[in-house]
Amino acid sequence: MSPVRKIGVLTGGGDAPGLNAVIRAVVKAACNAGIEVVGLEDSFDGLLDPSRTRRLTPRDVTGILRLGGTILGTTNRGNPFEYPLDGPTGKIDYSERCIETFGQMQLDALVVIGGDGTLNIAHQFYLKGIPLVGVPKTIDNDIWGTTSCFGFDTAVSFAADAIDRLHSTAEAHRRIMVVEVMGRYAGWIALHGGIAGGADVILIPEIPYDFDIVVERLRAREAFGAKFSVVVVAEGAKPIGGKVTLLAEARAGVVERLGGAGALVARELEHRTGKESRYVVLGHLQRGGTPTAFDRVLATRFGGKAVELLTRGDFGTMVANNPPDLVPIPLADVVGKTKTVPLDYDLLTTARAIGVAFGD
Protein backbone atom coordinates (compact mmCIF):
# COMPACT_ATOMS: atom_id res chain seq x y z
CA MET A 1 0.00 0.00 0.00
CA SER A 2 1.40 3.38 -1.00
CA PRO A 3 2.13 5.80 1.87
CA VAL A 4 0.70 8.56 -0.35
CA ARG A 5 -2.90 9.25 0.72
CA LYS A 6 -3.42 12.87 -0.25
CA ILE A 7 -1.79 14.89 -3.01
CA GLY A 8 -1.91 18.43 -4.33
CA VAL A 9 -1.85 19.33 -8.02
CA LEU A 10 -0.97 22.69 -9.55
CA THR A 11 -0.32 24.26 -12.96
CA GLY A 12 2.34 26.95 -13.38
CA GLY A 13 3.72 29.28 -16.05
CA GLY A 14 2.09 30.07 -19.38
CA ASP A 15 -0.86 27.84 -20.21
CA ALA A 16 -0.66 25.11 -22.85
CA PRO A 17 -3.45 23.08 -24.47
CA GLY A 18 -3.67 19.80 -22.57
CA LEU A 19 -3.24 21.11 -19.01
CA ASN A 20 -6.80 20.13 -18.15
CA ALA A 21 -6.27 16.70 -19.68
CA VAL A 22 -3.33 16.16 -17.30
CA ILE A 23 -5.36 17.36 -14.30
CA ARG A 24 -8.19 15.03 -15.28
CA ALA A 25 -5.87 12.02 -15.59
CA VAL A 26 -4.17 12.82 -12.26
CA VAL A 27 -7.51 13.11 -10.47
CA LYS A 28 -9.00 9.98 -12.00
CA ALA A 29 -5.89 7.82 -11.58
CA ALA A 30 -5.28 9.01 -8.01
CA CYS A 31 -8.89 8.67 -6.86
CA ASN A 32 -9.12 5.21 -8.40
CA ALA A 33 -6.04 4.30 -6.35
CA GLY A 34 -7.69 5.62 -3.16
CA ILE A 35 -5.70 8.88 -3.07
CA GLU A 36 -7.42 12.17 -2.30
CA VAL A 37 -6.59 15.09 -4.62
CA VAL A 38 -6.51 18.79 -3.79
CA GLY A 39 -6.27 21.38 -6.57
CA LEU A 40 -4.05 24.37 -5.76
CA GLU A 41 -5.02 27.57 -7.54
CA ASP A 42 -2.75 29.88 -9.50
CA SER A 43 0.42 27.88 -9.41
CA PHE A 44 2.35 27.97 -6.10
CA ASP A 45 0.14 30.83 -4.87
CA GLY A 46 -2.32 28.09 -3.92
CA LEU A 47 0.23 26.85 -1.40
CA LEU A 48 0.34 30.19 0.35
CA ASP A 49 -3.30 30.28 1.19
CA PRO A 50 -5.46 27.22 1.97
CA SER A 51 -8.57 29.15 0.88
CA ARG A 52 -7.20 28.94 -2.66
CA THR A 53 -7.41 25.15 -2.71
CA ARG A 54 -10.25 22.77 -3.43
CA ARG A 55 -10.80 19.04 -3.33
CA LEU A 56 -11.01 17.50 -6.81
CA THR A 57 -13.00 14.36 -7.48
CA PRO A 58 -13.61 12.57 -10.80
CA ARG A 59 -16.93 14.42 -10.97
CA ASP A 60 -15.07 17.78 -10.89
CA VAL A 61 -12.98 16.87 -13.90
CA THR A 62 -15.71 15.44 -16.07
CA GLY A 63 -15.82 17.21 -19.43
CA ILE A 64 -12.50 19.05 -19.15
CA LEU A 65 -10.46 16.78 -21.44
CA ARG A 66 -10.92 19.01 -24.46
CA LEU A 67 -10.84 22.38 -22.67
CA GLY A 68 -7.95 24.78 -23.25
CA GLY A 69 -6.46 26.78 -20.38
CA THR A 70 -6.43 25.30 -16.87
CA ILE A 71 -9.26 24.94 -14.38
CA LEU A 72 -6.74 25.66 -11.61
CA GLY A 73 -5.50 28.98 -12.98
CA THR A 74 -1.86 29.78 -13.49
CA THR A 75 0.65 32.56 -13.22
CA ASN A 76 4.21 33.16 -14.25
CA ARG A 77 4.85 35.69 -11.50
CA GLY A 78 4.47 33.04 -8.84
CA ASN A 79 7.95 32.11 -7.63
CA PRO A 80 7.53 31.74 -3.83
CA PHE A 81 11.31 31.77 -3.40
CA GLU A 82 11.48 35.29 -4.74
CA TYR A 83 8.18 37.12 -4.96
CA PRO A 84 8.84 40.54 -6.43
CA LEU A 85 8.20 43.42 -4.07
CA ASP A 86 6.62 46.49 -5.53
CA GLY A 87 9.20 48.78 -4.01
CA PRO A 88 12.87 49.03 -4.93
CA THR A 89 13.89 46.55 -2.22
CA GLY A 90 13.74 43.49 -4.42
CA LYS A 91 12.33 40.13 -3.46
CA ILE A 92 10.87 38.17 -0.60
CA ASP A 93 11.06 34.41 0.09
CA TYR A 94 7.70 32.82 1.00
CA SER A 95 8.80 29.22 0.50
CA GLU A 96 8.68 28.33 4.23
CA ARG A 97 5.08 29.50 4.38
CA CYS A 98 4.24 27.21 1.44
CA ILE A 99 5.89 24.29 3.23
CA GLU A 100 3.83 25.05 6.37
CA THR A 101 0.60 25.07 4.33
CA PHE A 102 1.63 21.79 2.71
CA GLY A 103 1.94 20.30 6.23
CA GLN A 104 -1.26 21.91 7.56
CA MET A 105 -3.22 20.47 4.65
CA GLN A 106 -1.73 17.06 5.39
CA LEU A 107 -0.57 16.65 1.84
CA ASP A 108 1.84 13.78 1.19
CA ALA A 109 3.06 14.87 -2.22
CA LEU A 110 2.54 17.24 -5.14
CA VAL A 111 2.10 16.93 -8.90
CA VAL A 112 3.61 20.06 -10.43
CA ILE A 113 2.65 20.66 -14.06
CA GLY A 114 4.76 23.34 -15.66
CA GLY A 115 7.58 24.56 -17.86
CA ASP A 116 11.21 25.21 -17.04
CA GLY A 117 10.51 28.00 -14.52
CA THR A 118 7.86 26.03 -12.63
CA LEU A 119 9.92 22.83 -12.65
CA ASN A 120 12.85 24.81 -11.27
CA ILE A 121 10.71 25.98 -8.34
CA ALA A 122 9.48 22.40 -7.88
CA HIS A 123 13.06 21.20 -7.71
CA GLN A 124 13.87 23.77 -5.00
CA PHE A 125 10.85 22.58 -2.96
CA TYR A 126 11.95 18.98 -3.43
CA LEU A 127 15.39 19.87 -2.08
CA LYS A 128 13.59 21.39 0.93
CA GLY A 129 11.81 18.09 1.58
CA ILE A 130 8.53 18.25 -0.36
CA PRO A 131 7.91 14.94 -2.18
CA LEU A 132 6.80 15.71 -5.71
CA VAL A 133 6.74 14.72 -9.37
CA GLY A 134 6.91 17.17 -12.28
CA VAL A 135 5.01 17.01 -15.56
CA PRO A 136 6.58 18.94 -18.47
CA LYS A 137 4.34 21.50 -20.15
CA THR A 138 5.10 23.95 -22.92
CA ILE A 139 4.03 24.70 -26.45
CA ASP A 140 7.69 25.58 -27.11
CA ASN A 141 8.85 21.92 -26.82
CA ASP A 142 12.10 23.15 -25.25
CA ILE A 143 12.13 21.21 -21.96
CA TRP A 144 15.26 19.20 -21.55
CA GLY A 145 15.04 15.42 -21.27
CA THR A 146 11.67 14.79 -22.93
CA THR A 147 11.22 14.33 -26.67
CA SER A 148 7.87 16.09 -26.52
CA CYS A 149 5.57 18.14 -24.33
CA PHE A 150 1.80 18.35 -24.60
CA GLY A 151 0.69 21.63 -26.20
CA PHE A 152 3.38 21.55 -28.87
CA ASP A 153 1.34 19.52 -31.34
CA THR A 154 -1.63 21.87 -30.92
CA ALA A 155 0.56 24.93 -31.48
CA VAL A 156 2.17 23.39 -34.57
CA SER A 157 -1.21 22.37 -36.00
CA PHE A 158 -2.53 25.89 -35.49
CA ALA A 159 0.58 27.42 -37.11
CA ALA A 160 0.33 25.05 -40.08
CA ASP A 161 -3.32 25.90 -40.58
CA ALA A 162 -2.55 29.64 -40.42
CA ILE A 163 0.28 29.27 -42.94
CA ASP A 164 -2.04 27.35 -45.27
CA ARG A 165 -4.49 30.22 -45.16
CA LEU A 166 -1.79 32.82 -45.71
CA HIS A 167 -0.59 31.04 -48.85
CA SER A 168 -3.72 31.90 -50.81
CA THR A 169 -3.73 35.58 -49.91
CA ALA A 170 0.05 35.81 -50.50
CA GLU A 171 -0.46 34.30 -53.94
CA ALA A 172 -3.45 36.48 -54.80
CA HIS A 173 -1.48 39.65 -54.01
CA ARG A 174 1.93 38.37 -55.11
CA ARG A 175 3.33 39.36 -51.77
CA ILE A 176 5.87 38.16 -49.27
CA MET A 177 3.93 36.98 -46.25
CA VAL A 178 5.87 36.76 -42.99
CA VAL A 179 4.46 34.71 -40.09
CA GLU A 180 5.87 35.17 -36.57
CA VAL A 181 5.42 32.19 -34.26
CA MET A 182 6.21 31.60 -30.57
CA GLY A 183 8.90 29.35 -29.12
CA ARG A 184 11.18 31.64 -27.11
CA TYR A 185 14.81 30.64 -27.73
CA ALA A 186 13.96 27.39 -29.55
CA GLY A 187 12.78 27.01 -33.13
CA TRP A 188 10.63 23.88 -32.75
CA ILE A 189 7.28 25.53 -33.53
CA ALA A 190 8.74 27.51 -36.46
CA LEU A 191 10.45 24.47 -37.95
CA HIS A 192 7.60 21.98 -37.54
CA GLY A 193 4.87 24.52 -38.32
CA GLY A 194 6.84 25.88 -41.27
CA ILE A 195 7.44 22.45 -42.76
CA ALA A 196 3.84 21.37 -42.21
CA GLY A 197 2.63 24.62 -43.84
CA GLY A 198 5.06 24.48 -46.77
CA ALA A 199 7.02 27.65 -45.93
CA ASP A 200 9.79 28.76 -48.31
CA VAL A 201 12.02 30.29 -45.64
CA ILE A 202 12.16 29.43 -41.92
CA LEU A 203 14.17 31.55 -39.51
CA ILE A 204 14.93 29.98 -36.13
CA PRO A 205 16.99 31.08 -33.11
CA GLU A 206 19.45 28.22 -33.54
CA ILE A 207 20.51 29.52 -36.99
CA PRO A 208 21.18 33.28 -37.07
CA TYR A 209 20.25 34.50 -40.52
CA ASP A 210 21.69 36.74 -43.19
CA PHE A 211 19.17 38.98 -45.03
CA ASP A 212 21.20 38.76 -48.25
CA ILE A 213 20.82 35.00 -48.27
CA VAL A 214 17.08 35.20 -47.57
CA VAL A 215 16.67 37.70 -50.42
CA GLU A 216 18.72 35.45 -52.73
CA ARG A 217 16.32 32.60 -51.99
CA LEU A 218 13.26 34.75 -52.66
CA ARG A 219 14.75 35.96 -55.97
CA ALA A 220 15.55 32.37 -56.97
CA ARG A 221 11.89 31.52 -56.38
CA GLU A 222 10.82 34.39 -58.62
CA ALA A 223 13.23 33.30 -61.34
CA PHE A 224 11.58 29.92 -61.10
CA GLY A 225 8.16 31.51 -61.69
CA ALA A 226 6.83 31.85 -58.13
CA LYS A 227 5.12 35.19 -57.56
CA PHE A 228 4.88 35.03 -53.78
CA SER A 229 6.74 33.62 -50.80
CA VAL A 230 5.92 32.57 -47.25
CA VAL A 231 8.52 33.21 -44.54
CA VAL A 232 8.12 31.76 -41.03
CA VAL A 233 10.02 33.60 -38.30
CA ALA A 234 10.46 32.28 -34.76
CA GLU A 235 10.02 35.05 -32.20
CA GLY A 236 13.57 34.32 -30.97
CA ALA A 237 15.21 34.45 -34.42
CA LYS A 238 17.94 37.01 -34.93
CA PRO A 239 20.19 38.18 -37.76
CA ILE A 240 23.86 37.16 -37.67
CA GLY A 241 25.57 39.48 -35.18
CA GLY A 242 22.20 40.95 -34.15
CA LYS A 243 19.95 40.60 -31.11
CA VAL A 244 16.50 39.14 -30.50
CA THR A 245 13.67 41.66 -30.75
CA LEU A 246 11.90 42.42 -27.47
CA LEU A 247 8.47 43.80 -26.63
CA ALA A 248 9.52 44.30 -23.00
CA GLU A 249 12.74 43.94 -21.02
CA ALA A 250 12.90 41.55 -18.06
CA ARG A 251 11.88 43.03 -14.71
CA ALA A 252 11.55 41.71 -11.14
CA GLY A 253 10.08 38.21 -11.36
CA VAL A 254 9.11 38.55 -15.02
CA VAL A 255 11.16 37.27 -17.95
CA GLU A 256 11.75 39.37 -21.07
CA ARG A 257 8.93 39.34 -23.63
CA LEU A 258 9.98 38.45 -27.12
CA GLY A 259 8.23 39.91 -30.14
CA GLY A 260 8.75 42.03 -33.22
CA ALA A 261 10.91 39.64 -35.25
CA GLY A 262 8.21 39.23 -37.91
CA ALA A 263 7.75 42.98 -38.36
CA LEU A 264 11.49 43.48 -38.65
CA VAL A 265 11.86 40.75 -41.29
CA ALA A 266 8.86 41.95 -43.33
CA ARG A 267 10.12 45.55 -43.32
CA GLU A 268 13.63 44.57 -44.34
CA LEU A 269 12.51 42.15 -47.07
CA GLU A 270 10.16 44.74 -48.58
CA HIS A 271 12.96 47.28 -48.58
CA ARG A 272 15.48 44.91 -50.14
CA THR A 273 13.27 43.19 -52.73
CA GLY A 274 10.85 46.00 -53.58
CA LYS A 275 8.04 43.46 -53.16
CA GLU A 276 5.07 44.25 -50.97
CA SER A 277 5.38 42.39 -47.66
CA ARG A 278 2.98 41.83 -44.79
CA TYR A 279 3.46 40.17 -41.43
CA VAL A 280 1.16 38.26 -39.09
CA VAL A 281 1.89 37.46 -35.44
CA LEU A 282 0.16 34.25 -34.36
CA GLY A 283 0.87 35.01 -30.68
CA HIS A 284 -1.34 33.52 -27.98
CA LEU A 285 -3.71 32.00 -30.53
CA GLN A 286 -1.14 29.19 -30.62
CA ARG A 287 -1.82 28.48 -26.93
CA GLY A 288 -5.57 28.86 -26.88
CA GLY A 289 -8.40 26.50 -27.57
CA THR A 290 -8.83 22.79 -27.57
CA PRO A 291 -5.84 20.41 -27.61
CA THR A 292 -5.30 18.08 -30.56
CA ALA A 293 -6.00 14.37 -30.09
CA PHE A 294 -2.23 13.78 -29.90
CA ASP A 295 -1.86 16.28 -27.04
CA ARG A 296 -4.89 14.87 -25.18
CA VAL A 297 -3.35 11.42 -25.32
CA LEU A 298 0.13 12.59 -24.29
CA ALA A 299 -1.30 14.72 -21.47
CA THR A 300 -3.38 11.80 -20.23
CA ARG A 301 -0.33 9.53 -20.27
CA PHE A 302 1.73 12.14 -18.38
CA GLY A 303 -0.97 12.51 -15.69
CA GLY A 304 -1.34 8.77 -15.22
CA LYS A 305 2.42 8.26 -15.06
CA ALA A 306 2.86 11.06 -12.52
CA VAL A 307 0.46 9.30 -10.14
CA GLU A 308 2.23 5.99 -10.71
CA LEU A 309 5.58 7.59 -9.82
CA LEU A 310 4.14 9.17 -6.66
CA THR A 311 2.73 5.84 -5.49
CA ARG A 312 6.13 4.23 -6.16
CA GLY A 313 7.86 6.95 -4.15
CA ASP A 314 9.84 8.10 -7.19
CA PHE A 315 10.03 11.72 -6.01
CA GLY A 316 12.11 14.61 -7.35
CA THR A 317 11.55 13.39 -10.88
CA MET A 318 9.87 14.60 -14.05
CA VAL A 319 7.84 12.38 -16.34
CA ALA A 320 9.69 12.33 -19.66
CA ASN A 321 8.56 11.03 -23.03
CA ASN A 322 11.18 8.64 -24.30
CA PRO A 323 9.24 6.78 -27.00
CA PRO A 324 7.73 4.32 -26.73
CA ASP A 325 7.95 4.75 -22.95
CA LEU A 326 7.33 7.42 -20.37
CA VAL A 327 10.21 7.42 -17.90
CA PRO A 328 11.13 9.33 -14.73
CA ILE A 329 14.20 11.54 -14.97
CA PRO A 330 15.66 13.51 -12.04
CA LEU A 331 14.49 17.13 -11.96
CA ALA A 332 18.10 17.99 -11.14
CA ASP A 333 19.03 16.90 -14.68
CA VAL A 334 16.30 19.00 -16.29
CA VAL A 335 16.36 22.41 -14.64
CA GLY A 336 18.39 25.27 -16.03
CA LYS A 337 18.70 23.68 -19.47
CA THR A 338 16.93 24.41 -22.76
CA LYS A 339 16.32 21.84 -25.47
CA THR A 340 16.96 23.71 -28.70
CA VAL A 341 16.76 22.30 -32.23
CA PRO A 342 19.99 20.34 -32.84
CA LEU A 343 21.78 21.43 -35.99
CA ASP A 344 21.95 17.81 -37.13
CA TYR A 345 18.20 17.24 -36.59
CA ASP A 346 16.94 15.14 -39.49
CA LEU A 347 14.03 17.49 -40.22
CA LEU A 348 16.49 20.35 -40.74
CA THR A 349 18.48 18.22 -43.15
CA THR A 350 15.36 17.18 -45.05
CA ALA A 351 14.08 20.75 -45.11
CA ARG A 352 17.30 21.90 -46.74
CA ALA A 353 17.14 18.96 -49.17
CA ILE A 354 13.69 20.06 -50.36
CA GLY A 355 14.83 23.67 -50.82
CA VAL A 356 13.68 25.41 -47.63
CA ALA A 357 16.07 28.25 -46.77
CA PHE A 358 17.23 29.11 -43.25
CA GLY A 359 19.12 32.26 -44.15
CA ASP A 360 22.57 30.79 -43.49
Residues within the interface to ligand F6P (CB under 6 A)? 14, 76, 115, 138-140, 182-184, 235, 257-258, 287
Give phi and psi for 255, each to the nearest 5.
-75, 165
* CB hemisphere CA count around 192 (13 angstroms): 19
Residue number, 58 or 84, with CB nearest to ligand F6P: 84
Please state, in angstroms and rounded to a whole number, the distance separating the CA atoms of residues 151 and 69.
11
Shortest CB 158 distance to ligand F6P, Å: 12
Shortest CB 335 distance to ligand F6P, Å: 15
Shortest CB 214 distance to ligand F6P, Å: 23
User: Whose CB is nearest to ligand F6P?
Assistant: 182
Residue pair 253/79 in contact by the 8 Å Cβ criterion: yes
Please state, in angstroms and rounded to a whole number, the distance separating the CA atoms of residues 69 and 136.
15
- Output b/e per residue, 174-187; b: 16+ Cβ within 10 A: ebbbbbbbbbbbbb
Residue number, 145 or 183, with CB nearest to ligand F6P: 183
Q: Is 295 known to be catalytic?
A: no
Residue 312, SS3? helix
Active-site residue (options: 15, 42, 140, 200): 140
Radius of gyration of the chain measured on its C-alpha atoms: 22
Residue number, 36 or 140, with CB nearest to ligand F6P: 140
Helix ranges restricted to H, the chain: 19-32, 95-104, 116-127, 152-173, 188-197, 211-223, 261-273, 293-312, 331-334, 346-353
Shortest CB 226 distance to ligand F6P, Å: 30
Shortest CB 265 distance to ligand F6P, Å: 17
All residues at 6 or more sequence positions from 349 whose CB lies less than 8 Å from its CB, including other chains: none
Residue number, 14 or 328, with CB nearest to ligand F6P: 14
Residue number, 200 or 235, with CB nearest to ligand F6P: 235
Residue number, 13 or 80, with CB nearest to ligand F6P: 13
- Output b/e per residue, 57-67; b: 16+ Cβ within 10 A: eeebbeebbeb
| Torsion angle of the four alpha carbons 81, 115, 284, 190, in this order, in degrees rounded to the nearest 10 | 140
Please state, in angstroms and rounded to a whole number, the distance separating the CA atoms of residues 343 and 360.
12
Shortest CB 102 distance to ligand F6P, Å: 27
Residues involved in catalysis: 140
